[in-house]
Amino acid sequence: MNISILGTGFIARFYAETLVAQRRKDVVNMVYGRSPDKTKKFAEDYNVPNYTSNLKESISHPDVDAVIIALPNNMHLEAVLACAEAKKPVLCTKPLGRNGKEALAMLQAAEKAGIFAGYLEDLCYTPKFLKSLSSINNGAIGRVIWTKSRESHPGPHSDWFWDKEKAGGGAIIDLGCHCVEISRNFIGKDIRPVEVMCWADTCMHPIDAEDNAVGLVRYENGAIGQFEVSWSFRGGMDLRDEVMGTEGTIWTNNFLRTGFEMFSTGSGDAYVAEKSESNSGWLFPVGDEVHELGYNHMFTDMFDAIENSKQPLETFYDGYIVNAIIDAAYQSARTKKWEPVIIEDWRGTTEVNQHHAGTSYDENYYLIKEEILPSGEKKIILKNKKTGAIEKR
């Protein structure tokens, strides 16, 4: 498949590195960038035969089979509309829009044009995530009660991220979009996100947007998806997820503690560890960053889906739901109360299983807890169904 990449920055380079490595059969044969110099350099670095500073041309070129949008947030809508017009399959980086309204416009444009529209949410494609999800779907941890996804680091590389207008916000829109969609997958995409409570503050940087936030998203079945984001974390890139189920637990750590630990006095001149804040002391390098971040599996899913006329795991609709949740989060940070998630076009289930009422022990009692004491003795704690009294046996 012949690919056009729109953008030449940090994320565009990550995408290109993924696509040109590991003897993949797909080819990057076009790159668009606003800066002619950077664009030319990008084309040289990744052996891209065509490059241009004309957006429409980079999309409509006859040798382009699919378009990857790797542009700043404020340019996504325009680029998607151009793809829709050109009837080209489009893959857009995260977040889809700066807000739900923009995301909805992109979704509707793509659907109206009938084009493939994939949402490049890489962290829903990391090997740990994919296996976690399949374990949950197989029932390994029971019913999901609560998930937490945390992404934090010392702040983004590119300047436009720090501009609230261009980015659509701060750490929530930048990092929270990952966290929200991770939780949503674990809880079930079919389950409606109902309301959001969020704290956000500017704790460290001289910026208008938030650099720290914590939010709780409540789903219709009672499950909670928690997100924690920060642009002021010290120590590298902290990407961790947790899931609590009624029958089990999942903990994943994608970056800082992955079984690769190095101590260096720093005497070697050349060594630089990615995203580490230093090159001496205890370091926690990442083996293969594009793999650890899910890019391999993401592009495989996307291109396979295009070829087989299927839906990818992550679609523009998912991107829209994420934006809708984030809109509610920002609203809640302002109003200081839970705010409803406003979804124009809910496509999931409307019949939700409520929380279990608890395990019945016998005709008269619910079982609260059964436990084996160190003495070997068995202890049972019950609740009387009629009186509500707690009893021990």
Hey, which residues between 274 and 313 contact a second copy (CB under 8 A)?
A: 274, 277-288, 291-292, 296-297, 299-300, 303-304
- State phi, psi for 105 to the nearest 5 degrees: -60, -40
Q: Is 340 in the site for a second copy (CB under 8 A)?
A: no
Tell me the closest approach of the beta carbon of residue 78 to a second copy, in angstroms: 21
DSSP state of 381: E
Tell me the closest approach of the beta carbon of residue 52 to a second copy, in angstroms: 23
- State phi, psi for 121 to the nearest 5 degrees: -90, 85
What tokens appear for 391 in the block? 């009893």
Which listed residue (371, 377, 386, 387) binds a second copy by CB under 8 A? Answer: 371
Q: Is 232 in the site for a second copy (CB under 8 A)?
A: yes
Contact between 151 and 58 under an 8 Å Cβ cutoff? The reply is: no
Among residues 248 and 348, whose Cβ is nearest to a second copy? 248
Hey, which residues between 187 and 216 contact a second copy (CB under 8 A)?
A: 197, 199, 201-208, 212, 214, 216
Q: Is 269 in the site for a second copy (CB under 8 A)?
A: yes
Q: Is 227 in the site for a second copy (CB under 8 A)?
A: no
Which listed residue (20, 105, 352, 381) binds a second copy by CB under 8 A? Answer: 381
Tell me the closest approach of the beta carbon of residue 60 to a second copy, in angstroms: 25
CA dihedral 186, 189, 190, 192 (to 10 degrees): 100
Tell me the closest approach of the beta carbon of residue 63 to a second copy, in angstroms: 18
What tokens appear for 19 in the block? 């696509």
Q: Which residues, including other chains, have CB under 8 Å from residue 259's CB and lie 6 or more apart?
A: none
Closest CA to 227 of 199, 246, 203: 199
Hey, which residues between 34 and 73 contact a second copy (CB under 8 A)?
A: none
Which listed residue (37, 112, 114, 247) binds a second copy by CB under 8 A? Answer: 247
Binding residue count for a second copy, defined by CB under 8 A: 127
Tell me the closest approach of the beta carbon of residue 310 to a second copy, in angstroms: 15
What tokens appear for 41 in the block? 């350099």
Tell me the closest approach of the beta carbon of residue 85 to a second copy, in angstroms: 28
Q: How many Å apart are CA 276 and CA 101, to the nearest integer?
A: 37
Hey, which residues between 72 and 131 contact a second copy (CB under 8 A)?
A: 126-131
What tokens appear for 208 in the block? 């208008």
Among residues 112 and 392, whose Cβ is nearest to a second copy? 392
Among residues 227 and 320, whose Cβ is nearest to a second copy? 227
Structure-token match 């169904």, residue found: 385
Which listed residue (37, 309, 374, 386) binds a second copy by CB under 8 A? Answer: 374
C-beta neighbour count of 131 within 10 angstroms = 12
Q: Is 354 in the site for a second copy (CB under 8 A)?
A: no
Site string for a second copy, 141-160 (x = CB under 8 A): xx--xx-x---x-xx-xxxx
Pick the stretch among 45-53, 63-71, 186-194, 261-269 that binds a second copy (CB under 8 A).
261-269
Closest CA to 307 of 60, 30, 65, 27: 65
Contact between 81 and 61 under an 8 Å Cβ cutoff? The reply is: no
Q: Is 386 in the site for a second copy (CB under 8 A)?
A: no
Contact between 282 and 62 under an 8 Å Cβ cutoff? The reply is: no
Angle at which helices 177-187 and 316-335 cross, to 10°:
110
